[in-house]
A = this chain, B = another copy of it.
Amino acid sequence: MPTGVALRDVREQLFDAADRVLLRDGPAALTSRAVTAEAGVSKGVVHRHFPDFDAFLAEFVLDRVDRMDARAAALRESAGTGTVVDNLTDALTAVFGSVAVAVVALITFRDDLRARLRETWPVGVPVLTDAASMIATYLAAERDLGRLTADAVVEGLAPTLIGTGHLLFADRTGPPPDRDAVRRMVDSVVAGSLPR
């Protein structure tokens, strides 16, 4: 077997499998056996690439948030056309429609995992920071923000959208919220915060 390259391939393979398990069965079902079975490899493979399963989870979360950040950056590039509400709706759908909510649920649920993540990640829940800066960039690009500075958005409006979006998308057992529902939420939140 190739030494360096294949080693990283297996890790990616396991991460992708974790994504599918997370989206299909929820964070409670994210066990080492479920991940390896989904990846189509032997169950012992995790402990060759990671000291233990919690270490796998920690690296998985870090990797996924990095990818979310990249996706947010890509959205920033393509923004500018359309209203701010449309852009925010797209952004929220992209962020919360993905594996992000399950990752947040995982971090919130597992105290020990969160403590482990703090060694690498000094402050709070990283998803908040990433999505907040993303939304702030959106709003800063809009004209006539009035007294609503970008900092105020990060401190106030962004958590609004994240909080509501989180609760809106948290339920994967029911039917997924359609774009109109998300847009309505964004619309009401922005209407209550932006000057007109």
Binding site for B on A (CB under 8 A): 25-28, 101, 104-112, 114-115, 118, 124-125, 128, 148, 152-153, 155-157, 159-160, 162-164, 166-168, 170-174, 185, 188-189, 191-193
A contact face: mostly helix, strand, loop, or mixed:
helix
Per a CB cutoff under 8 Å, which of B111, B152, B167 touches A26? B111
Top 9 closest pairs, chain A to chain B, by CB: A163-B163, A156-B192, A160-B160, A152-B192, A26-B111, A155-B188, A159-B164, A109-B109, A105-B108
Residues of chain B lying within 8 A (CB to CB) of residue A191: 152, 156
Q: How far apart are A123's CB and chain B's nearest CB, in angstroms?
A: 10
Chain B CB within 10 A, most for which of A153, A159, A173: A159
C-alpha gap A118/B175 in the complex (Å): 13
Residues of chain B lying within 8 A (CB to CB) of residue A172: 111
Contact B111 A152 (CB under 8 A): no
Residues of chain B lying within 8 A (CB to CB) of residue A188: 152, 155-156
Q: How far apart are A121's CB and chain B's nearest CB, in angstroms?
A: 12
| 7 additional A-B residue pairs with CB within 8 Å, beyond A108-B108, A153-B192 | A101-B108, A107-B170, A108-B109, A108-B170, A112-B173, A152-B192, A156-B189
C-alpha gap A119/B78 in the complex (Å): 42
Q: How far apart are A126's CB and chain B's nearest CB, in angstroms?
A: 11
Residues of chain B lying within 8 A (CB to CB) of residue A148: 192
